[in-house]
Amino acid sequence: MHYLSTRSHQETATSAEAVLRGLAPDGGLYVPETIPAAELSDAALISLDQYALTAHILKKLLPDLPAAAVEDAVREGYSGKFETEDLTPTVQVDKAHVLELYHGPTSAFKDMALCLLPRLIAASCAACGVKEDVLVLTATSGDTGKAALAGFADAPHTRVMVFYPEGGVSEVQRAQMVTQEGKNVCVCAVRGNFDDAQRGVKEVFAQFKGTRVRLSSANSINIGRLAPQVAYYFKAYADLRKKGVVKAGAPVDFIVPTGNFGNILAGYLAKRMGLPVGTLVCASNENDVLTEFLQTGVYDRRRTFHKTASPSMDILVSSNLERLLYFASDGDAELVASLMHKLTETGVYRIPEELHKRIRSEFACGKADDPAAFDAIRRVWAKERYLMDPHTAVAWRVYEGYRAAGQSENPAVVLSTASPYKFAPAMLEALGLPVPESGFDAMEELHGATGTPIPKPLAALKYKKELHRDVIEPSAMLSYVERKAEQVRWAE
């Protein structure tokens, strides 16, 4: 199986090359030529543990990596790094099932992929005979950055560089990043929002001329990010099977708090690989460009950017939508290239009606602004004694609306993407409690008020030293990367 670019069938790559490059040379995203079948019987699905299940899915999507390397990557990448024995527990809350994806080292779902990515990159280097170091460039809306730093810190033959929007991430998210230790890590703030940082990274990819390192990406433009995410959809389905919630082969709906469209696209891939997924429900916060797109078929980023209480979803240009357009149009690379060109040139595009209909047959959508999400946090805590973070609450609110509209009777899984403690001030506000000045005091308050445990790495942050203080303009990103890439060492 080859990988192709979403923008032209001339750009082919092996799966190992796709992982190494991140982005295709023509600016498109890598997609498998044909989406492989998972080939998992119901009996196998129920009997495999999460490590074996994840390795199975990775081997299907990344067939050029040696099977043993993939199995090692999963075992070493996940073992001993999670606070719960079950890496991703599925918890019943009221009539829905919440898939908790945030028990990893940085308390957000990005860990599911970024615990594995450094090892997948190392295996890809070996498979491709690459000798030079890999420099992993990452734009972050808050959570990817820390997960990438933690995953790559001191990993051999790699360096990781993270750009985050100055003032655009929570205090705790920032502290997580700027205190990161490691000889091969670099963290820099950008005077702009996430979209500026993401655009800057894409430009660096297009124009970088350094020879000392090879660039790759830890953003969900990298297929190596998406592949591990596909696996937890299978795991969640297996959990519901084991609990007797769903009969073999019966559909389950997934409600996904969405920003860059990576998480939900992994659900779509799971479906195309054969998992009985009913509807995928895309939940947006006030930056509802995706909800509007799914409703109208018009993608229009020319709108006000809102800073919300769910900052990891504050995104107006959702990269992975490009992959959906490709798959749903049966691989019409010419169409995708022209839509993406329009987006760059004019900020807006409209998809053909037939394509819109097809997408609508598999995706539902909804939005929830901060007051609606806060209301959900308060109600679910009061009624169920279950605490959900602001991103999860957006999805929960959208789930309620979806259910109330009577569109589906399928069992529903709401994806929970972050620990409430990453966003403690917003949580306190939602619960109607006083909000202290400092995010760290807010963690303590939230703990005192709810009795829920603070994840250990978050509790330890307060005592760590700030190590990274650079702040630059988006236009300076290329020269920053080039200068840094020439330095042999970053830390004393």
Ligand X SMILES: *Cc1c(COP(=O)(O)O)cnc(C)c1O
Q: Which residues are catalytic?
A: 110
Report in angstroms how near the CB of residue 109 gets to ligand X at its nearest: 6
Under rule CB under 6 A, residue 417 binds ligand X: yes
Site for ligand X in 214-233 (CB under 6 A): 220
Nearer CB in complex with ligand X: 265/335: 265
Report in angstroms how near the CB of residue 422 gets to ligand X at its nearest: 7
Under rule CB under 6 A, residue 418 binds ligand X: yes
Site for ligand X in 332-391 (CB under 6 A): 391
Site for ligand X in 70-109 (CB under 6 A): 108
DSSP state of 23: B
Cα–Cα distance between 424 and 107 in angstroms, integer?
13
* Beta-carbon count within 10 A of 414 CB: 28
Report in angstroms how near the CB of residue 418 gets to ligand X at its nearest: 3
Under rule CB under 6 A, residue 312 binds ligand X: yes
Asked if 161 contacts 188 with a C-beta cutoff of 8 angstroms, the reply is yes
Phi and psi at 3, nearest 5°, equal -100, 145
Site for ligand X in 246-275 (CB under 6 A): 257-263
Nearer CB in complex with ligand X: 50/312: 312
292-403-100-232 Cα dihedral, nearest 10 degrees = -70
Nearer CB in complex with ligand X: 54/258: 258
Nearer CB in complex with ligand X: 122/151: 151
Site for ligand X in 444-483 (CB under 6 A): none
Query: Which residue from 261, 258, 391, 259 is spatially nearest to 315, judged by alpha carbons?
Result: 259
Letters for 137-156 (x = contact with ligand X by CB under 6 A, - = none) are ------x-------------
Report in angstroms how near the CB of residue 241 gets to ligand X at its nearest: 25
How many residues bind ligand X (CB under 6 A)? The answer is 16
* Beta-carbon count within 10 A of 408 CB: 16
| Choice from 97, 110, 214, 241 touching ligand X (CB under 6 A) | 110
Query: Which residue from 211, 195, 149, 140 is spatially nearest to 176, judged by alpha carbons?
Result: 149
Report in angstroms how near the CB of residue 221 gets to ligand X at its nearest: 11
Please spell the DSSP secondary structure of 169-221, one letter per residue.
S-HHHHHHHHT---TTEEEEEESS-HHHHHHHHHHHHHH---SSEEEEE-STT
Nearer CB in complex with ligand X: 14/229: 229
3-state DSSP helix/strand/coil % of the chain, to nearest 5: 45, 15, 35
Say how many residues make up the chain: 492
DSSP state of 302: -
Cα–Cα distance between 349 and 293 in angstroms, integer?
10
Nearer CB in complex with ligand X: 5/287: 287
Report in angstroms how near the CB of residue 419 gets to ligand X at its nearest: 9
Cα–Cα distance between 438 and 462 in angstroms, integer?
10
Structure tokens at 225: 């990010």
Site for ligand X in 380-399 (CB under 6 A): 391
The three-state secondary structure class of 2 is coil
| Choice from 99, 313, 413, 443 touching ligand X (CB under 6 A) | 313
User: By the criterion CB under 6 A, which residues form the site for ligand X?
Assistant: 108, 110, 143, 220, 257-263, 312-313, 391, 417-418
